[in-house]
Amino acid sequence: MRNLRGRGGWADAEVSGRQGPGGEDSSAEGTFFEEVLTGDPEDDDTSEGVRRRPARQRRARRWVVVLLVLVVVLTAGAVGAEYLVRAQIDSAVRSALPGLSSDARIATKGIVLTQLAGGSLDSLSVDSKVLEITSKGQGGAKVALSDVDVDLSRIRLRSPYPTDTVTAAGTISWKQLTELAARKHPNMQGMTLQAKRTGTSAQQPGAINASASLLGMSGEAEIVPSIKEDGSLVLTITSTRMGGEQNGVDVGTSESSLLGYVGLDSPEITIPAESLPQGLRPTSAIVTNDGLRLSLTGSGVNLGQL
């Protein structure tokens, strides 16, 4: 009985020890279970890291997506603004040069938004089949240039569209050249001009053949173009011939020759600079099959006044 009690007492003691709040065994076992349930601190960090890593990765991916969207939006906005400004430049140039053909190409270099922040474009080029411009003198006559190339620098896009420098080239037809010359020398109106020898440079401009027929007699003259220092275009008659190439006779360039016959008092036919667009000055004139190819330059030119 004692043993049973003792055993029962031991059992009760074990039970009370496990359930009792204050005993050493209860405390030890409680600590053991807490350690088991809580786990090792390193294991805790690892398990929580495993749980937190996907969340962190998702947040990182969301930020990457947000940043990419912002970059795309900002880039699209900048590109759209660039295209808008280029369209406005095209409109401004056509407004300044209404004589341009409808299919003229207007090109800029670099990013125009940054250039316009400084108040002007750095450069601009224009390629056009035709450019109709108004001469300064002689009643504001219209002059049409074909195959036009224009390069400009430092252009402001407000009327009168001033630009620092202009370099241009265009071809004036033989018919229009005759009309320009006839304004100063009326008897030129009866002449027909065409290329006799095409040129290659200002030093080798080629030669023009001028022909006329009066009172049943035909005559021809060879003309060499040049540019004077004052910007005037000079057509110099270097030889004349009566009766055509086959049976003709060279008669020189005196007043008694073909010149006098058609009413010219000098071998030089001058087209003054004021006959050309305001602000532009010819630098060379070269004979081509289509007409006289003029190169022109200007500084401080207002495009709106061409």
Task: Give 129-162 pLDDT, tens digit per residue.
Answer: 999 887 665 556 678 899 999 999 998 878 888 8
Residue 261 lies in a domain: yes
Residue 219 lies in a domain: yes
Residue 158 lies in a domain: yes
- Taking alpha carbons only, the member of 223, 92, 209, 207 closest to residue 155 is 92
Residue 45 lies in a domain: no
What strands, in cross-sheet order, belong to the sheet with 281-287?
Answer: 105-108, 121-134, 142-155, 162-173, 291-302, 281-287
Whether 140 and 269 share a structural domain: yes
Task: Identify the pLDDT of residue 204.
Answer: 95
Query: How many distinct structural domains can be found in the chain?
Result: 2
Name the H helices within the chain: 2-19, 24-38, 41-96, 112-116, 174-184, 244-247, 258-262
* pLDDT tens, position by position, 175-203: 999 988 888 778 777 789 999 999 999 99
For 8: left if phi > 0, alpha if psi spans -120 to 50, otherwise beta; the answer is alpha
Task: Identify the pLDDT of residue 170.
Answer: 94
Whether 117 and 215 share a structural domain: yes
Task: Identify the pLDDT of residue 244.
Answer: 57
Copy the structure tokens of residue 39: 């786990």
Residue 105 lies in a domain: yes
Task: Identify the pLDDT of residue 252.
Answer: 55
Residue 83 lies in a domain: no
Residue 92 lies in a domain: no
- Taking alpha carbons only, the member of 94, 195, 199 closest to residue 150 is 94
pTM: predicted TM-score of the whole model, two decimal places: 0.68
Distance in angstroms (rounded) separating the CA atoms of residues 135 and 179: 13
Q: How confident is the chain (306 residues) per 10-residue block, as mean pLDDT?
A: 43 43 47 41 50 65 64 56 78 86 90 80 93 68 88 87 92 92 79 94 93 73 91 88 58 55 72 75 94 92 78
Q: Which residues contact 271 (CB under 8 A, 6 or more apart)?
A: 180, 181, 184, 232, 233, 234, 235
Task: Identify the pLDDT of residue 2.
Answer: 44
Contact 219, 261 (CB under 8 A): yes
Query: Which residue range(s) make up the domain with 287?
Result: 97-305
Whether 19 and 126 share a structural domain: no
